[in-house]
Structure 1
């Protein structure tokens, strides 16, 4: 295995070609490996075969480059038997009760186990609760009368994809690896060392690697919750929370700035802490900070609606019948991903209250979405709207012009870094 990896003879299989799997496939092909990409979505397979990308972080030209570098996309899992290293990058959503939904991991593992060749290394990258690798994935493979450390090798290495990040990507972000045995650790770390330009940090078990990923995102979840609560407190005290945070950030130690917003979005920060809360209930322990920060973050869309009531009241208007233009549907700037986006919640609530909502998002407008989204809007038409609402700070938006041309602007992202005035209000 080590020789195959070093000589670029190992064939790589990526199961799940989404926001994590597709960049991983690109990274592997760029490093000189033959790669099979597996996905159950025929639509994704067709787009890749047509040399078209469906995520922001991989361009059409990069898809062409992948195919030039021995890449094939397929839904035929029988081809797993040609693979030396399988990386699982499937979704791990929560169900309606905020419990981990393991169907994707279980289905992927079953497909892999049924077609596994001798000596294959299997790596799970999907974010999940501590114990998944050894309590869910391993037993499924073991049922095929395969012995770990002999017939196959298994490790966990959490994905650290940050969509839209122009500085850090799959290839240059440090990797954490936890294998079930020493050989599992050695093979997985050797694999990542040969495809990445970053450091590889070995830990003692898959459970440690699974737990550290949850710590990463729980840390952000709680600190964003604190920033959001500070925004609510500062508004009640007639203080500018952004000025307060920027002042605190001048301290060179002991403080890390986090900023408020309309709520949490994406497939990581709003979801990952719940894996931990669910798992630890087995030990008869209830997480307290996670629950509190979730309450604060989850209430932010409704808090934004309350602020909009006050804004429109200044003009003797109600939300019912008002014309509101919303800038941004994606959960963060410069990407098209609107999964768990607070903008979706806010827009739905505005429509329920009778507002006429126009959504502007240059990224979401270019993909198939259930929302009626326009790529851009004529700036001179903004005075026809009662309110401009900035929910996502895409670089394509001219925020100075939006504020200048709008009757009133409510800015949840502090895009202009200035205080509220007669025609502009910041969260």
Structure 2
């Protein structure tokens, strides 16, 4: 047996999780179970893979294993942007190779469509709204990014609107930003509510086990997954656990577990809503990748998300939350001086699986083992579509998008420690310093 040396253990104060509708977690696994299919990780990718496998093999049981509770982990901790457009930060115009960008757009649109159909079919209450997004800047570096991205969108033939700073209060209330690029295709959601709803609407031949962290694995003609209360013996294993896939022996040093931090305010009073002005529901992403993501939510709260840390074991550092909350308070005060008495109800961390070359993995990892891993911060749409297409490919169904994903070189291996931590931490420190007021 190969030991799985680190398992998910997120901090307890995720606002999205606590404000989403309650659900009864499925029981943990115990004893010994033999099955044809096992998916590890019940985030967007794993839920999509399990759902599509169940549809492709309606007479077979699909086992889905989640280390924590559904909606509590990474998938329920992001900012809730289901983005349609490609956003390649490694390219000068944020679009890069036009054929790759077109394929990425198709993938993202398909991911959105899959989610929208499930939400509508099962009446999932997750505040899903096709509201678009504002990509906003205040520093010269951020303004240059907007100009480059605008040129890239022109090349891709995509719709956008340039909104100057003087007009932005009509949209988002604050006068903080100098310019924004509005694109209409983004869908905003309450992420934890969405994940819970996706889990509770799985087909009947999916068996979900929660609070079952896998602690050891043995590969062979069958794959044996060990945990504290027993074993799951499976013919085929699908890994949908992002950076924790490395703990299962694959893609070592290729995914970087980078944590982002978020705070969610208390609800705004009627007087405070009037003082803020603007639209009642919106989302802003920063032009500078190291800046702040900001949302006004369906329940009239303000979300601030910024600040990074590199946690090589993929687990959070709860002791840093107080420091991050102070940073969020400063970011809030800069943007919303008209709301001086609005405090935060929640502050939490959530992880991203990033790669140096901005590529993910899709396909076969080894005998009887498959994976869709490393979403590079676009888990809602990317995870949904790659999980779905991986299940189709395993079932012998392919198309141009599947072939595109299979052609990816995959995430590039990073240097060994201590050089890895030194390099990543230096990059994060410098990026956040250069972001200036964007943070």
Q: With structure 2 as the length reference, what TM-score do the two structures score? A: 0.22
Q: Greater relative contact order (Cα 8 A, min sep 6): structure 1 or 2?
A: 2
Task: Report which of the two has the higher share of strand.
Answer: 2
Higher Rg of the two aligned structures: 1
